[in-house]
Amino acid sequence: MNNKPRYTIVVPCYNEEGGLHELHRRLCQVMDQTGETWEMVLVNDGSGDRTPEIIRELRASDPRVKMIDFARNFGHQLAVTAGLDYAQGDAVVMIDADLQDPPQLILEMIDRWKEGYEVVYAVRSQRKGESWFKEFTAKLFYRIIFRITDVDIPLDTGDFRLMDRKAVDATRQMRERHRFLRGMTSWVGFRQTGVYYVREERFAGETHYPFRKMFKFALDAITGFSYLPLQLATYLGFGIAGLSALAALAVVFARLFMGATPFYGQATTLVVVLFLGGIQLITLGIIGEYLGRIYDEVKGRPLYIVRETIGFDEPSRQDATHSGESS
Ligand code: UDP
Ligand code: MG
C-alpha cells in the first residue's frame, strides 16, 4: 500500500497470446519515459489459448506485471471493470491488448491529466484495416447513442482512456451488470477532454467483436442510458390512433358523398392487422429487453468471478468481496 504505483495500465486479454510480448515491450518503452512508477494489470478473460502462461512469463521477468485470472470468459467490459477494481495507481489507463490503441498516446494523456483533466479519452480520427461494414456500423452506432441518450458520450471514442483516481472510484460505485463503460465514465462528470489518434490494425489475432456481439453491446448502451425505446410505444400509439381517426373520417366522407368506400376486400384488413401485430410485438420485445436487464440486476450476482490474482500484495484491500456485489 505504501509503494503504490503512480500509474496503472489495465489490459483486458481474451486469446491474445500473439501480441502480449509486443504490447509489454511497447508499454515499457512508453511508460519508462515518464520516470514514474507504474503497474500493468492484465485481466485474463477466460482465454482458451496460452494467454495466462504468457502473462506469467512476463511477470517472471517484470514484477510490475500483475494478473487477474477470471474463472471463465465474462466479456471485455467486465474484464476492464475488474482491472479498475484492482488498480492502485493515481491515474488508470485502459487499453486494448491488440495494439489497436497506440501506447505512445498515453504520454499525451498523462500531460493532459497533469494539466488538471480527470478523464482523458482517445478519439479515433481514423480507423485502419477494418472493413467498411465495421466502420460504418461503428459510426452509425455512436451517432445513434449520441442522439438518444442524455449523457454526453463523445463521438468515436472507445474504452482507451486515462482516468484520475477520483473518476475511477466514482465509476467503481456503479455496479450495473450490463456495462457501457465509456458512457459510465462520461456520466460521472469531472473535467474531461479528448486526444486524437489513428486506430491501427490489430497486431495479431482477430477481433472478438463480431456483429452479434456489437449488436448486444449497442443494446446495452441504449438501454443503459436511455428510456426512449420504451417511450416509442407511446409515440407509435398516438401516431397510429391519430392516423386511424383520420382514416375513419375519410371512409365516412367517401360513403356519404362519393357513394363508395375507397377500401376493398380482405387484403387491406389483413395488412393492417399484421402491421399492428408487428408493432405490438416489437414494443413487447423492447419491454422485454429492459425487463431482462432488470431481472439480471435484481439477481445481484457477482459481476465476475476471479480464479486467482497474481502480484497484488493485499487482495483484501481491493474490496474484492464488495466489488462483486451490485449493492
Ligand atoms: N476482450 C476481452 N474479452 C472478450 C472479448 C475481448 O477481454 O470477451 C478484449 C480483447 O482481448 C481486447 C479488447 O477486449 O484486448 C478488445 O477486443 P477486440 O480487439 O476483439 O475488439 P475490437 O477492437 O475489434 O472492437
Ligand atoms: Mg481490437
Residue 15 lies in a domain: yes
For residue 321, pLDDT beyond 50: no
State whether the beta carbon of 79 lies less than 6 angstroms from ligand 1: yes
Tell me: do 288 and 190 sit in the same domain: no
Q: What is the pLDDT of residues 11-48, one digit of tens each?
A: 999 999 999 999 999 999 999 999 999 999 999 999 99
Confidence band for 316, pLDDT divided at 50, 70 and 90: very low
CA of 293 to the centre of ligand 2 (A): 26
CB distance 13 to ligand 1 below 6 Å: yes
At 245-267, the pLDDT tens digits run: 898 888 888 888 877 666 667 77
Nearest alpha carbon to residue 193 among 123, 284, 244: 123
Ligand 1: residue whose CA is nearest its atom 16: 96
Residues linked to residue 192 through DSSP beta bridges, in sequence order: 119
Inter-residue contact 173 to 101 (CB < 8 Å): no
Indicate if 171 and 256 belong to the same structural domain: no
Query: What confidence score (pLDDT) does residue 191 get?
Result: 92
The pLDDT confidence band at residue 209, using thresholds 50, 70 and 90, is confident
What's the pTM value of the predicted model, to 2 decimals? 0.82
Instruction: Provide the pLDDT for residue 232.
Output: 87
Query: For residue 1, is it within any domain?
Result: no
Q: Are 117 and 38 in the same domain?
A: yes
pLDDT at 326 over 80: no
Radius of gyration of the chain (CA): 25
Query: Cell digits for 272?
Result: 393492417
Residues 313, 185 share a domain: yes
Closest Cα to atom 17 of ligand 1: 208
Mean pLDDT of 266-274: 83
- Distance, CA 100 to ligand 2 centroid (Å)? 6
- Per DSSP, which regions of 134-291 are E strands? 157-164, 192-199
Q: Do 193 and 284 share a domain, yes or no?
A: no
Q: Does 312 share its domain with 293?
A: no
- The pLDDT of residue 136 is 83
Ligand 1 mutation pick, 44, 98, 141, 182, max ligand atoms within 8 A of CB: 98
Are 153 and 209 part of one and the same domain?
yes
Q: Rounded CA gap, 184 and 181, in Å? A: 5
Q: Is 211 in the pocket of ligand 1 (CB under 6 A)?
A: no
Residues 6 or more apart whose Cβ sits within 8 Å of residue 293: 177, 178, 220, 223
The neighbouring-strand residues paired with 120 are 162, 193
Q: What is the model's pLDDT at position 1?
A: 47
Which of the ligands is closest to the CA of residue 138?
1
Domain count, the chain: 2
Question: By alpha-carbon position, which residue is closest to atom 6 of ligand 1?
Answer: 76
Q: 158: Cβ below 6 Å to ligand 1? A: no
- Each residue of 133-150: pLDDT tens digit? 877 887 887 788 778 877
Per-residue pLDDT reduced to its tens digit, 153-172: 777 788 999 999 999 999 99
Work out the mean pLDDT of the chain and round it to a whole number. 87
Both 118 and 254 in one domain: the answer is no
pLDDT of 299 > 90? The answer is: yes
Torsion angle (degrees, nearest 10) of CA 131, 137, 142, 146: 160
Q: Tell me, yes or no, whether 279 lies in a domain.
A: yes
Does 44 map to a domain?
Answer: yes
Instruction: Determine the structural domain holding residue 242 and report its residue range.
Output: 228-299
124 alpha carbon to ligand 1 midpoint, in Å?
17
Shortest-distance Cα residue to atom 13 of ligand 1: 96
Does the residue 133 lie in any domain?
yes
Indicate whether 2 belongs to any domain: no
The string of pLDDT tens digits covering residues 63-114 is 999 999 999 999 999 999 999 999 999 999 999 999 888 999 999 999 999 9
pLDDT band at 233 (very low <50, low <70, confident <90, very high): confident
Q: Which ligand is nearest to the CA of 15?
A: 1
Distance 14 CA to ligand 1 centre (A): 6
For 130: left if phi > 0, alpha if psi spans -120 to 50, otherwise beta; the answer is beta
- My answer on whether 108 and 138 are in the same domain is yes
Residue 129 pLDDT: 67
